[in-house]
Chain A
């Protein structure tokens, strides 16, 4: 009884404090919101707290990693052999393409040298695994397992096998956050590969659509045109595929045409992304041609 009375007096004593605490916290929240939206002062705070969330991510990711590990370790020998032969075949095909490519690259460098333009260098690339994708469907953010320790920097471009995926927005020590090009807040400078027309591709919040809102009705653009990065924003290295134009609607009474494109990268399904260090030449593996040369010579001698 006494305890109950003490409790109730305790409560009546505390009830106003609850409202006060709420108001205080709401005030801090609004301050944080404004500070976070307007400035970038909160980056260090984000990183510090982000480090606290990191173990949670690892635990969340654990079932998937365990499953993949099990899948890898229990794959039968036959399957492995099959995959090996498939990969070998694929390697031969890409190798043959690469031979042509290296010839073209040499030619390109020569032509550029003749034009006295700076020659483009190859970019260094590192594979990063995606740890989690934002569960907020209106903010397309993903977290990868590479951080500043691996040399990741803010604004770094992320690609997959088919094209641009997004860019890094917050580089932590061990993991970094990246925003996808389909995020409604994201825009990137692109160029139509066929006509050289430059424009901006804006995310829509859908994984399979980008908007090109700033094209006049008479712009030289058609369905099926390939969009590549123009490199003008200074963030994305030039020449990487972004998407393919899939609808062009010219609106005679409006100032702009309604153009949308389908991203080249499969944004909804990526499991790994590649981070690009523009201009840092990769240490190239021993060229295959040298090993092949004796064989070719032998064949020629016959």
Chain B
């Protein structure tokens, strides 16, 4: 059992790094406000699938890396990701039996919470962005959730090891 858990570590790690990379790939100007929160989506998936292997600690470390990569305040993404992951792990048993439509709605709520925390911390720090574009990632992330969960599910069940 322990060996099984350790063997699963590699694909998950690869997914996380891939998500991190996707979130720093340069996009054209018009598209970058709509870049989905890849890291948040990946974390939500894995913390439902393997709640004991990957939870708030992983989320926090990834958040710090995101903060460094984006040049935001240190701890901003970390706090938001840790909260989202905490809620997901807390309710992972309920979330597992949700049908896709209900799950997508939950993901929408989680992503909205994530963006709200980033928005709120920015506000406290005195950065006031345009509000409309702030919710772009929530919409694209929610729309992409079925695809993400399908792809990560494929990786989870078919990855070697």
Contact = CB atoms under 8 A, between A and B. Distances in A.
B70 A136 contact: yes
A291 B21 CA distance: 52
A106 interface: no
B27 interface: yes
A49 interface: yes
B127 A184 contact: yes
Interface string B25-53: 11101001101000000000000000010
A18 B121 CA distance: 24
A88 to B, nearest CB: 33
Given A56-B17, A138-B122, A19 B86 contact: yes
Nearest to B78: A29
Nearest to A42: B74
Interface string B67-89: 01111111110110011001001
A42 B60 CA distance: 17
A139 B21 contact: no
A57 to B, nearest CB: 7
Contact of B70 (A37, A49, A139): A139
Interface stretch (B6-14, B100-108, B128-136, B142-150): B128-136
Contact of B130 (A14, A60, A141, A205): A205
B153 interface: no
A60 B130 CA distance: 28
A133 B26 contact: yes
B111 interface: no
B68 A53 contact: yes
Contact of A177 (B21, B27, B71): B71
B135 to A, nearest CB: 12
A236 interface: no
A242 B86 CA distance: 46
A30 interface: yes
Interface stretch (A20-28, A94-102, A193-201, A210-218): A20-28
Contact of B73 (A36, A132, A134): A36
Interface residues of B, number: 47
Contacts of A37: 73, 125
B138 interface: no
A103 interface: no
Given A26-B79, A60-B24, A135-B70, A53 B35 contact: no
Contacts of B26: 60, 64, 132-133, 135
B65 A137 contact: no
A186 to B, nearest CB: 11
Contacts of A31: 75
B31 to A, nearest CB: 10
Given A25-B82, A32-B74, A36-B74, A135 B32 contact: yes
Nearest to B90: A18
Contacts of A207: 29
Nearest to A10: B52
A134 B77 CA distance: 14
A33 interface: yes
Contact of B35 (A36, A50, A135): A135
Contacts of B110: none
Q: Which of B27, B35, B60, B74 has the most CB of A within 10 A?
A: B74
Given A14-B52, A22-B86, 5 more contacts: A21-B56, A33-B125, A37-B73, A57-B24, A60-B26
Interface of B: 1, 17, 20-21, 23-27, 29, 32-33, 35, 52, 55-57, 60, 63-65, 68-76, 78-79, 82-83, 86, 89-90, 121-122, 125-130, 133-134
7 contacts: A29-B76, A33-B75, A33-B125, A49-B65, A57-B69, A135-B25, A141-B71
